[in-house]
Amino acid sequence: MNPSDEALRYPIGHFQLPTAPLGARGRAPYLQQLADLPALLAAAAQAVGGVRLEQPYRPGGWSGRQLIHHVADSHMNCYFRFRLALTEDNPTVRPYNEAAWAALPDVAATPITVSLALLEALHTRWLVLLHHLSEAQWQRTFYHPGYKTTSTLEQALVQYTWHGQHHLAHVELLLPRG
C-alpha cells in the first residue's frame, strides 16, 4: 500500500488501545465524541451533498452513502454487545460481514437521513446506559471470535469512538476541495 492509499484508508491513523484503564476522567472525552458524532456526521453529509455521497471516498472504497449506513449498522451491533456484556459473563459476540451488509439493497434504497436519525436515537440511548455504568461494569468483557480478542467495555468505547471518527473523516474526504 503506498502512503497516499494509507492516508485515504486511515485519515485519522490506525486504532490504538490505551495502555491502562481510563477511569471516569479518561472516559469523558470519548463519551463526548460519541455524543457529538451523529450531528457531525449529519453536517458532513449535508456539506458533501447528495451526488457526491454516491461516490467512493477512495478508489475501491465505500461510497459516502455506504459509510453512513455502515456506521449505524456497526454502532447498533456495538450497543448490543455492550448490553450482552452487562447481562452475561464474557459473552461471545457474533461477527458480521460488513462488506456484504454494505452491499444489501436497503443501503442503496434508504435515504441516509434514516440512518442518521437512527444513529442519533441510538447514541442517545447508548449514552444514557454508559453514563450509568459503575467502574466494575466498565471492566466487563465480551469475546469477539473474528478477532480472537476479549475487550472490556471501556476498550470498546475507545474503539467505537475511533470508529465513528474514522468514518466521519472518510465522509469529509468527499467534501469539495476549493
b vs e for 29-43, b when ≥16 Cβ sit within 10 Å of the residue's Cβ?
ebbebbeebbeebbe
pLDDT tens, position by position, 18-29: 888 899 999 999
- Please tell me the predicted confidence (pLDDT) of residue 129: 98
> What's the length of the chain?
178
Residue carrying the nine cell digits 459476540: 93
pTM: 0.95
Q: Within a domain: residue 79? A: yes
**What is the distance between the alpha carbons of residues 30 and 27, in angstroms, rounded to a whole number?**
5
What's the CATH code of the domain at 102? 1.20.120.450
Q: Within a domain: residue 177? A: no
Q: Within a domain: residue 103? A: yes
For the chain, how many structural domains are there in total? 1
In three-state secondary structure terms, 76 is helix
Three-state DSSP string of 21-57: CCHHHHHHHHHHHHHHHHHHHHHHHHHHCCCHHHCEC
In three-state secondary structure terms, 106 is helix
Q: In which domain, by residue range, is 33 found?
A: 27-172
- Please tell me the predicted confidence (pLDDT) of residue 176: 85
Does residue 142 contact residue 81 with C-beta atoms inside 8 Å?
yes
pLDDT tens, position by position, 115-136: 999 999 999 999 999 999 999 9
Q: Within a domain: residue 84? A: yes
